[in-house]
Structure 1
């Protein structure tokens, strides 16, 4: 089995990053559950799992051409239990096997052990021999072991050599002819955030690279719907894929909104407006929640109208990035409505958030860290104190349920994926979000425990388990940079019912820096959560103060002066 599968895998698999609603009227598919694996053990059958996504083109093709094929069904009939898992519905299973793309096909033995893992589309011609050989010789294929975890470390940053290696790989990935990082053009929020920060710091080369990427990415904004596709498969930006998951909308609208403020290009504002229109017209549910995704490629499945806490939180963050840059209050109000929906429909009695209305696993880190991030963004964008308190409570739930004490990292799920998959996994992107969010929450609250959690998480991100697994790591650079440098801190001191205060706060929000602590102190509400600055009364009415932990700028009273005030503070901080 090892030899035959290794040959097939190395020579014949077709990669497919790109499924559709599943018709299971004939009962062909079973669900992922302990009961299914108990049945497999009892009947001495293999479990073959197809991990798919709603918008995934090649999942749809494989359902039609492979799983419905009579020869494939004959090979499965007596010895296999086919299991379908929608990757959006089960973040734990999705993140365990995400390296194999969608569709991923995983074959388990009757004892629940993995035998073979297949990446992408397989035609009947290639899948049937693998199924038959599995029955003949169920010896597991030997895959390269992932880098081992490092014990919890006091290291909270990269070495200069590690940093240089990551920067060199990012530079190597740059497409000098067509722009964009890599040959396939992905909507990657981490890359945009990293490049925008470099541009804002005066890095002219990365400023030009970011602008070229934003210009090329305009081709990925769908002419019909306004949504931004997650990938363009052509090196010259000519083959946009019509797959519109929520994370791509968040990344795209944030990049264009902040890019518009930084570069003043009206095309970027128009792009942000179009993605905002897509969110409102296609993914916003009537009750305030947000749908998961939309697919218009193979099979044209349309809008996936399931509703998860994770995607609703991503929509909140997207709307607030747009609001901060543009001042469109409708976007802020939609974000608030979405948060109210999540609190009413996804918050759990004991704290934290569940994924769906009824979960078969979890709770999951992804839902809870995205909600913490969204609630903290609501505090930033509105000045409302309730959102900060809710962010703290959700962060406390994460700290109690998802931190792996041995490594300092954050695990995907608070419960095992299944009885036979008990080893927890840690997903890098969610760990980066956790480190960044806990670090910023520490700045807002003054709670050093959150800072300590962020530092321990950074220790995991600088371990071989992360650095030796992937070379393209702009997100790790961002997390490290934010941990090393305090956020730009701007506070508006003034009554919240005073239009002058509101104008100052709007100007503070529009400054294009994600790592920012923006606060609105109406003294009638009592002290701020972290009263680390003693703001004087200013006789001329509402005023804006830009502060570090050691000093504050002279207050300004005109919205147009805030950007220069923050630039001056940035130079003082050497950011």
Structure 2
């Protein structure tokens, strides 16, 4: 239990079957408080609402209160999130949702307690409902066609904010995967968005990117810093540098690597997050020296470390940044040693408390695989590790319709119901396409195609937030592979990493004549090069 929850007057229980069993025996509904170590509003609600004696007494007497760290319990987060954190959710002993809200002050919380008590007394367990995503499964399947990519380009054009950059006219999120999609299809949109992110969300003193901006003009930054979001932006800025050669994109990526390898480095791998503090981040740099920096959650999460390793290796591929490569390899080695067993990835393991997370979650499998396939392309390492994780995922999480479940269909509350998250299916499909090119095994490409096709019937309703889906469909239809007949790290291999666009795959030590690079498009060889210059010409002409 985190210190903020412990300081309240509520008698919190940990997430698990026991809490729901107590609710069933006592005939009480469950109060789920979904919180995160980095969440300022969560801590405010603890210090005010949950610390008010009469509210706490009411909660303790009439409900079974459960605190959930959403970073450590991603499947709970996906099933009970009320649109942000904190999420305050009232559920039946079977885990079905009665009602929920976000942040609640004392008066608002009193009102919802009264409402839930009246509903429960009148209807009991019949007052609960199952969210549609858990009732209906995946969206309709369909055919993977070029129209999906065309539709997404149209969405980019329709949603782009010409005045301030980014997409949409309200809260601005960085959307690094959307930026990457735009880099090869609407580059001006991508670079203008990165410029806005660099200007408004980069902490130029302590390093790292803030989560998002509350205002259309990128003002009102929400100042938490999460490892996965920072990793995504390192990769997006690195790829913008690859396309433009502009140091203005390389420098923010390198500054953020510095933040990850200092503030977020635990000694073994990367920490999960750093909390936001409006008071701290509004201080002048000289005043920050004497102030306590916001709390760092040192939990090593497998999924976020997989993303971070892949991002740092991408930067190394374009810049030869040895620090980035070194820390990426250390983080991957730690994850593989401590959190992976025969291809099954453990979400986290806390050496201080002995607490461990769930194993075999799609989020972890996909993102660690992504880090490993990037490592294979850049350093030539981790071939067998990548195969093992992919094979476990295909065997355990892919259903007959092709979509991947977010984890084992078991657990407390609604965790025993299958959920098929589009974004994580996309991340896994992307990594499987890399692996198919690296191994030459079509079964990985087939699995990726099946996963993508399982959502294709809803493609015409997708917005820019899932532009990565369209990028994967493009890769499926027009695969591009550079097969390099030299070891990783050779001049020819390093040239291939810089010349290949970011949706292509570079295979070092491939089965081609020594000293040659063979370019394949759509499965057919379209050219050969034997020097960096001739390779650049080949890539330009193809």
TM-score (norm 2): 0.88
**1:459 matched residue in structure 2:** 453
**1:375 matched residue in structure 2:** 372
In 1, Cα distance between the equivalents of 2:414 and 2:49? 28
Change in Cα spacing, 1:217 to 1:111, as seen in structure 2 (3 Å) is closer
**2:347 matched residue in structure 1:** 355
Q: How does 1:171-186 map to 2 (within 5 A)?
A: 171-182=157-168, 183-186=170-173
**1:493 matched residue in structure 2:** 485
TM-superposed CA distance for 1:374, in Å, is 0.7
**1:553 matched residue in structure 2:** 527
Answer yes or no: is the 8 Å Cα contact 1:156–1:456 preserved in 2: no
TM-superposed CA distance for 1:566, in Å, is 1.5
Unaligned 5+ residue runs, structure 1?
1-18, 199-205, 522-527, 570-575
In 2, Cα distance between the equivalents of 1:305 and 1:494? 39
Choose from 54, 63, 66 the match for 2:46.
63
**Helix, strand or coil: the match of 1:194?**
helix
In 2, Cα distance between the equivalents of 1:298 and 1:485? 46
**1:112 matched residue in structure 2:** 95
1:157 aligns with 2:144: yes
In 2, Cα distance between the equivalents of 1:492 and 1:167? 32
1:230 aligns with 2:222: no
In 2, Cα distance between the equivalents of 1:467 and 1:122? 36
Choose from 405, 415, 425 the match for 1:411.
405
In 1, Cα distance between the equivalents of 2:412 and 2:261? 37
In 1, Cα distance between the equivalents of 2:298 and 2:403? 32
In 2, Cα distance between the equivalents of 1:99 and 1:561? 54
**Helix, strand or coil: the match of 2:4?**
coil
TM-superposed CA distance for 1:59, in Å, is 1.3
Q: For structure 1, which segment, 124-133 or 470-479, has the greater mean C-alpha deviation from structure 2 after superposition?
A: 470-479
Any idea what the Cα deviations from partners look like across 1:138-183, whole Å, max 9, x if unmatched? Answer: 2437788348346985x441573x6555444333321121111123
TM-superposed CA distance for 1:514, in Å, is 2.3
Q: How does 1:52-451 map to 2 (within 5 A)?
A: 52-98=35-81, 100-118=83-101, 120-138=102-120, 139=123, 140=127, 145-146=132-133, 148-149=136-137, 153=141, 155-158=142-145, 160=147, 165-182=151-168, 183-198=170-185, 206-218=186-198, 219-287=200-268, 289-297=269-277, 301-348=294-341, 350-357=342-349, 358-384=355-381, 387-405=382-400, 407-418=401-412, 421-451=415-445
**2:507 matched residue in structure 1:** 519
**1:16 matched residue in structure 2:** none
Any idea what the Cα deviations from partners look like across 1:418-456, whole Å, max 9, x if unmatched? Answer: 165421111111110111111221122121211221111
Answer yes or no: is the 8 Å Cα contact 2:180–2:190 preserved in 1: no
Change in Cα spacing, 1:173 to 1:495, as seen in structure 2 (3 Å) is closer
Change in Cα spacing, 1:329 to 1:69, as seen in structure 2 (3 Å) is same
**Helix, strand or coil: the match of 2:417?**
coil
Any idea what the Cα deviations from partners look like across 1:60-109, whole Å, max 9, x if unmatched? Answer: 22222222123421331311121110110011111223462211111112
Answer yes or no: is the 8 Å Cα contact 1:71–1:128 preserved in 2: no
**Helix, strand or coil: the match of 2:517?**
strand
Any idea what the Cα deviations from partners look like across 1:272-310, whole Å, max 9, x if unmatched? Answer: 1111111111112212x1110112325864211111211
Q: For structure 1, which segment, 322-331 or 471-480, has the greater mean C-alpha deviation from structure 2 after superposition?
A: 471-480
In 2, Cα distance between the equivalents of 1:241 and 1:461? 32
Change in Cα spacing, 1:563 to 1:279, as seen in structure 2 (3 Å) is farther
**1:562 matched residue in structure 2:** 535
In 2, Cα distance between the equivalents of 1:251 and 1:389? 25
**Helix, strand or coil: the match of 1:125?**
helix
In 2, Cα distance between the equivalents of 1:326 and 1:103? 40
In 2, Cα distance between the equivalents of 1:512 and 1:383? 16
Change in Cα spacing, 1:469 to 1:104, as seen in structure 2 (3 Å) is farther
Change in Cα spacing, 1:463 to 1:67, as seen in structure 2 (3 Å) is farther
Answer yes or no: is the 8 Å Cα contact 2:138–2:455 preserved in 1: no
In 2, Cα distance between the equivalents of 1:64 and 1:115? 25
**1:34 matched residue in structure 2:** 17
1:484 aligns with 2:449: no
Change in Cα spacing, 1:491 to 1:472, as seen in structure 2 (3 Å) is closer
In 2, Cα distance between the equivalents of 1:156 and 1:409? 14
In 2, Cα distance between the equivalents of 1:21 and 1:236? 36
TM-superposed CA distance for 1:417, in Å, is 3.4
Change in Cα spacing, 1:96 to 1:220, as seen in structure 2 (3 Å) is same
Any idea what the Cα deviations from partners look like across 1:459-518, whole Å, max 9, x if unmatched? Answer: 222134x7658674312211111111112x22332366xxxx722221211236222221
What is the aligned-residue RMSD (CA, Å)? 2.6
Change in Cα spacing, 1:495 to 1:267, as seen in structure 2 (3 Å) is closer
**1:572 matched residue in structure 2:** none
**2:283 matched residue in structure 1:** none
TM-score (norm 1): 0.83
Equivalent pairs counted in the alignment come to 514
